[in-house]
Chain A
Amino acid sequence: MPLSVQETEVKNPPVSRPPLDPHLKALENEAIHIFREVAAEFEKPVMLYSIGKDSSVLLHLARKAFYPGRVPFPLLHVDTTWKFREMIEFRDQIAEKYDLDLVVHTNPRGAEEGITPFSHGSALYTDIMKTEALRQALDAGGYDAAFGGARRDEEASRAKERIYSFRTPDHKWDPRNQRPELWNIYNGMVRKGESVRAFPLSNWTEVDIWRYIQAEDIPLVPLYYAAERPYVERDGMMILAEDPRLELLPGETVQQGMIRFRTLGCFPLTGAIRSTASNLEEVIAELEIATVSERQGRAIDRDQSGSMEKKKREGYF
């Protein structure tokens, strides 16, 4: 063990930045509190790391929470082997740069049984290569707490998810029987084999995530930014055409265009959007514009009864 503060400070120590606005600061404080509480109360935590923007924010908050110490738990990446090439490169760079313990797990059934998103359909593929793989990795590591980047605003069913979400030994979630969560006092008592998923970003919205990435200058996989990229159109999606395993179907051609991705997953299942937003400022501007334009549209309509129905007929909804 190194003996002085200088030697033990985390690799690539932080640079001084302007203070966060109180809104983001409050969200950050809450997330750091959750990280520290879980790290203190559980024997073997792990952080699920999916390489996307939410994971990048989660990792940044973990580094802040434990500074000047290292992040005291490993990062777990469930690799389906069908991720974007740039994601894997980014993952390895980040692990090296920030001196992280990275655990990568792939469900061996993928290779043994030749399970691909093309051959088995997205539902079965996802179930085996993501859900089952995650269970395998959590069991193998004996983790009793797993941090995740889920947000309550993502969808209705998440709106009632707890910050400490309890799981049975076979990883089942019983929404009928969730523990009440009052104030910021979290109940971390579990029996052997039981575990919790902990969600430090529960109260963040998508806009908060992007604003925080901007304020804290958090590096992201370049695929979030628009660039001239090859793609094929399939089932109404634009699929990135750079991986030799993508076989063109009859009638498909590789096209070029300015595209980017709003979310990142397995490349055959992740559609791009057309966009010229090639940096963070422009991405945020796109997000805000989409909101503002719709709001303006509604502001005009709100007191003219029937106009909403008209818009609906035009396909607005």
Chain B
Amino acid sequence: MTATATSPSATILPFAEPLKAVRDTRPLRLITCGSVDDGKSTLIGRLLWDTKAVKEDQAATLARDSGSQNDLGLPDFALLLDGLQAEREQGITIDVAYRYFSTDRRSFIVADTPGHEQYTRNMATGASTADLAILLADARAGLLEQTRRHATIAALMGIRQFVLAVNKIDLVHYDKAIFDRISHDFREFALSLGVRQITAIPMSALKGENVVYPAETSMPWYDGPTLVEALELATVRSTQAGGFRLPVQRVVRPGESFRGYQGTVAGGSVKPGDSVVILPSGTVANVSRIVTFDLVRNAAVAGDAITLVLDRQVDVARGDVIVSLDGQPMTGHHFDAQLVSLQPGGIEPGKRYWLKSGSRRQRVAVEPISQLELATGKWQPHASTLAMNAIGKVRLSFEELAVFDAYDQNRSTGAFILIDPDTLNTVAGGMITAKRGEVGGIHRDQGGEGQRVVLSLPADLAEQLMASELFANRRDETEVKRMTAKQAAELFSNAGGDI
């Protein structure tokens, strides 16, 4: 220790050249999916430990509470999440906890959700803001139905980057063949969900192999990234490419001559001179200034909290959306959506809820259509109450004009929550899929009338098609069967004539 060791208070080590961390992106938000059995607590504990997110006092607590060590002489990493465990003992429902760590290259926000009980609801909450999902699999058990369920929910919530952590690889003697088989199975499954960015990593969270530090000695056959390297390389989601969207949070009028519209840019970008439309009214105006506390602003992009000044007096209120003239969102009274039911009462057909999206709150009636069967990935017809944790397709009907993007186009303007008018609790999280016509239904619901096309494709081409978002969004309308080229040829020779 240092010369200050006799100090009665906390000790600070002497000066040296401080590390200058580079923060060239916003924090990467991720969700960890898996159960205690898969070693999730150990993995998160290991991440926090090896990146030094654990502070001295926490470490001291850990040492005090952890009477026994494991056979590596290391503390029990699961105990790092001690506060939660204490809560668990008190019978408090654990849902989502957020944890923070950083490397020299990037910082991370982890949504930590429990693996089993009520996992759909909790996973949906954690996944709603995540850029990436870490899916845990026990190398001894392989790919379980649970992993498939977690992957399905993560994909549904719009996550397009998966890391498969094949954990406890030390317990299968670092067998490359086992790792290859699990990661191949997972890759196939993830592709079918429309997820193409997949990294599979063999690891031992307990021993710290391939989490933060590489493990060339025990796994010379693996030359991919460690978990932290994969996370450092992951891309953060950006909606800068689409049309400009500014949900108006407040109108600021400090004096008669100044009128600004405050909000967070939810898509695209804007600069002075741009023509914009105010929705739902449809009024057109031009941007004259972008005002922020930091004075000079020539442009603003998705994510920026700004104050927009327009070139003319127009009627704009909280809840309106200011959008680019080109590439406008959908407006209408009827929309299709998918939602996750979050509360014991479920989502009742025909009940009028409050819907909040962006800064807008309006009345909506919800009509369930189908429910996702997580075990099979199939949508089953379901017109009654969507129970807690159910994932359903619904029709939304608004009394006043609504403004949305499809969720796969914009994760801000395509997302909403439902609020129960009786309890005022948040009862569902939802994602807009499409706008419906004012009368009648969408054509695809008209049973056997619609035309179908049967294709026979090379497997690799079919996989690429299935990995597209377009395909993934309508996967429930498709049927896929794998077969040999010979079988396909026979099938086609027996098929209807006008193909």
> Hey, which chain B residues are within 8 Å of A237, CB to CB?
8-9
* Nearest CB of B to A2, in Å: 6
Of B9, B73, B249, which contacts A305 at CB under 8 A? B73
- Contact of A286 with B12 in the complex, beta carbons under 8 Å: yes
* Given A23-B27, A160-B98, A187-B356, residue A317 in contact with residue B59 (CB < 8 A): yes
Give the residues from 260 to 298 in chain B that come closer than 8 angstroms, CB to CB, to chain A.
Answer: 260, 262-264, 291-296
**Does A138 make an interface contact (CB < 8 A)?**
no
Residues from chain A with a CB closer than 8 A to the CB of B141 are none
CA distance A189 to B208 in the complex (A): 45
A246 at the interface (CB under 8 A from B): no
- Among candidates B15, B264, B307, residue contacting A289 with C-beta atoms closer than 8 Å: B15
The proximity string for A residues 1-39 relative to B, scoring 1 for CB distances below 8 Å and 0 otherwise, is 111110111000010110101111111110011001101
Cα(A178)–Cα(B319), bound, Å:
25
**Does B16 interact with chain A (Cβ within 8 Å)?**
yes
Per the bound structure, the CA–CA distance linking A307 and B252 in Å amounts to 60
Which of B19, B254, B264 is the one whose CB lies under 8 Å from A8? B254
- CB pair B26–A187 under 8 Å, yes or no, is no
A interface size (C-beta, 8 A) = 93
A120 CB within 8 Å of chain B: no
Instruction: Give complex CA distance A291, B54 in Å.
Output: 10
Binds A, one of B145-153, B396-404, B411-419: B411-419
Interface assignment of B170: CB less than 8 Å from any CB of chain A: no
Q: Is the CB of B294 within 8 A of A17?
A: yes
In the complex with contacts A23-B107, A157-B83, A189-B354, A180-B255 CB distance below 8 A: no
Q: Which one of A76-84, A125-133, A269-277 is at the interface?
A: A269-277
Shortest Cβ distance from residue A145 to the other chain B in the assembled complex, whole angstroms? 14
- The CA of A307 and the CA of B296, in the complex, are separated in Å by 55
Q: Is A90 an interface residue (CB 8 A)?
A: no
Given known pairs A182-B415, A317-B60, the reply for A156 and B82 (CB within 8 Å) is yes
Instruction: Determine the chain B residues whose CB is within 8 A of the CB of A274 once the complex forms.
Output: 4, 7, 9, 11-12
How many residues of chain B have a CB within 8 Å of chain A?
Answer: 98
User: Complex Cα distance A291/B424, Å?
Assistant: 44
| Contact status of A36 and B263, CB under 8 A, knowing A160-B84, A180-B125 | yes
In the complex, residue of chain B having the shortest beta-carbon distance to the beta carbon of A282 = B15
Residues of B within 8 A of A317 (CB): 59-60, 62-64
B59 to chain A: closest CB distance in Å?
A: 5
Q: Name the one of A3, A28, A238, A306 contacting B8, with C-beta atoms under 8 angstroms.
A: A238
Instruction: Tell which of A46-54, A106-114, A293-301 binds the partner.
Output: A293-301
Q: In the complex, A159 Cα to B7 Cα: how many Å?
A: 32
B318 touching A180 by the CB < 8 A rule? no
Asked if B93 and A16 sit within 8 Å, CB to CB, the answer is no
Q: Which residue of B lies closest to A60 (CB)?
A: B293
A–B pairs, 8, beta carbons within 8 Å:
A8-B254, A29-B303, A67-B307, A68-B252, A156-B82, A182-B125, A183-B417, A274-B11
Interface residues of B (CB under 8 A from A): 4, 7-16, 18-19, 23-27, 50, 52, 56, 59-60, 62-64, 69, 72-75, 81-84, 86-87, 91-100, 102, 107, 109, 112, 121, 124-125, 128-129, 208, 213, 249-250, 252-258, 260, 262-264, 291-296, 303-305, 307, 318, 342, 354, 356-359, 411-412, 415-417, 419, 424-426, 429
